[in-house]
Structure 1
Amino acid sequence: MFEFLRSYIVCLALLSGIIGLISLHKLPGNKAKFLVLLIWFSVLTEIVGYFFTQWTGLLNYYVYNFYMFVSFSAYILLLRSLLQKQTNRISAVLFLILFLISLFLNILYFRKDINHSFTYSFAVGVIVVMMLSCLYLVEIFNSNKILNFKKSVFFWYILGILVFHVPVLPFMLAIKWFLIKQDESIFSLVLFILNFLAHSCYIIGFVWSEKKYNY
């Protein structure tokens, strides 16, 4: 019943991507502009993923596994660039290596046919990003940035990442372990709601942020 909502996810990404382009004047450095690039990469992924089966006759796990690899690697590198403490930055590098190892092991596990959902690599990626995000927030709350953290596009982008990935992880694992039955209608509804919340955070960040806090 809610399968049609999957197509509207592209519209959400397009909306936040367009607002990101309009807000480029408030995104002074490459690091801030990189956020807009990531959103447009998600737009491209959603479009290709939507038509992939129709074009190739194959399941679209190839598309989303590649997106997972690129996006989580980008999130970890982004968080590393935002962290100030050297120990936290080193932790980010180690977590990136851990994520890449999990991805390599997933590929080995499905070496005969890798067109499967890399759920466990996704779980590792979410946990790693969640831990690094906590370190980032702790650094903010222990510095003078706490006075203006809501005016930073990075804060809202990280919040959007967490709002989407933290709830979707237990849902996906429950499907993986057959704790709940996979229903495409419910799956589409959950993905739409979480994407709506995430892109709302991105849009708030672009609109509400101020240039001097986006370096």
Structure 2
Amino acid sequence: MGTFSLIFVHLLELIAAIFGTFYIFKYREDKSTRYFTYFLWLTVFVETVGLIPNIIQSVESFGHLKETFWNQNFWLYNTYLILSFLFYLNYVKMNLKSSKLKKVLMIFFLIYGLSTIVNLVFSKVLFEAYSAYSFVVGSILLFFSIGLYYYEILQSNAILNFSRSIPFYFSVGTLVFHLCVTPLFIYSRYYSNRTSPEFVEVYALILTIANIFMYTCYIIGFLICSKKNKSYS
């Protein structure tokens, strides 16, 4: 992403986290929304730390850090990637009613967590590239878990107020983002600025638009859903 796009997306992440914070402090809500807001703040933190390599490259006085692990952020985002998909699975699980479906997601949660850690430990990907295994497998499990959530909603009266719940906006934003980005992420391993600058440009554009859509969904969700709840006061 370009500098302007990067700053704009970071700003949306921060706004979503702030809106989430106001929401959970001012209105009654279950634990899942609190964890969702904590996750948004974690995202803001990770994205801020992730800017360090760019700062090292552009500021001369930080030149001595070019030979350290701070000069790249693969280790940071590979760790965040695992944590984010584990959060997604757990968040959906918390919003399911069926104990059977919850058990299924818990099994996926454990398998994904263990397998991704093993993959990072026994491969060289942690400090050298973004883990395709973590992203692709995590996306597949995310699609499946949100599908279970939609299936359960369709089987109940909750569908009548579906568009006035935080999980609805979470599911739409997160699902669309990964549906758009995952196929391109898979192919990005075979292209670079040197071999196909057009693909890299399209990938960056779609990634930016997908991020904007996702965080806008989160922000709108907090705004709309805050109107239906009663204040603590």
Q: What TM-score range do you get, normalising by the shorter chain? A: 0.7 to 0.9
C-alpha RMSD of the superposition: 2.3
Between the aligned partners of 2:79 and 2:115, the Cα distance in structure 1 is 14
TM-score by length of 1: 0.88
Unaligned runs of 5+ in 1: none
Between the aligned partners of 1:32 and 1:114, the Cα distance in structure 2 is 31
Cα distance change of structure 1 residues 119 and 181 upon mapping to structure 2, 3 Å threshold: farther
- Asked if the contact 2:188/2:200 (under 8 Å) is kept, the reply is no
Between the aligned partners of 1:8 and 1:29, the Cα distance in structure 2 is 30
TM-score by length of 2: 0.81
Answer yes or no: is 1:62 the counterpart of 2:63.
no
Deviation at 1:109, TM superposition (A): 4.2
Between the aligned partners of 2:148 and 2:93, the Cα distance in structure 1 is 10
Deviation at 1:27, TM superposition (A): 4.7
The aligned length equals 211
Answer yes or no: is 1:138 the counterpart of 2:151.
yes
Higher relative contact order (CA 8 A, sep 6+): 1
What secondary structure is seen at the aligned counterpart in 2 of 1:117?
Answer: coil
Q: Alpha-carbon deviations, 1:52-95, whole Å to 9, x = none?
A: 45274322111111111111111111111111222211110111
Show the counterpart of 1:12. 12
Deviation at 1:96, TM superposition (A): 1.1
Deviation at 1:171, TM superposition (A): 0.6
The structure 1 segments of at least 4 consecutive aligned residues displaced by more than 6 Å after TM superposition are: none
Answer yes or no: is 1:114 the counterpart of 2:126.
yes
Cα distance change of structure 1 residues 184 and 158 upon mapping to structure 2, 3 Å threshold: same
Between the aligned partners of 1:52 and 1:178, the Cα distance in structure 2 is 22
Answer yes or no: is 1:205 the counterpart of 2:206.
no
Between the aligned partners of 2:111 and 2:182, the Cα distance in structure 1 is 18
Between the aligned partners of 1:67 and 1:44, the Cα distance in structure 2 is 11
Answer yes or no: is 1:21 the counterpart of 2:21.
yes
Deviation at 1:184, TM superposition (A): 5.2
Unaligned runs of 5+ in 2: 57-61
Between the aligned partners of 1:63 and 1:23, the Cα distance in structure 2 is 29
Between the aligned partners of 1:195 and 1:27, the Cα distance in structure 2 is 28
Paired AA for residue 197 in structure 1: F
Comparing 128-137 with 80-89, greater Cα deviation is found at 80-89
Between the aligned partners of 2:4 and 2:119, the Cα distance in structure 1 is 31
What secondary structure is seen at the aligned counterpart in 2 of 1:211?
Answer: coil
From the CA coordinates, give the structure whose radius of gyration is larger: 2
- Identity of aligned pairs, percent? 27
- Asked if the contact 1:95/1:128 (under 8 Å) is kept, the reply is yes
Between the aligned partners of 1:47 and 1:68, the Cα distance in structure 2 is 15
What secondary structure is seen at the aligned counterpart in 2 of 1:114?
Answer: helix
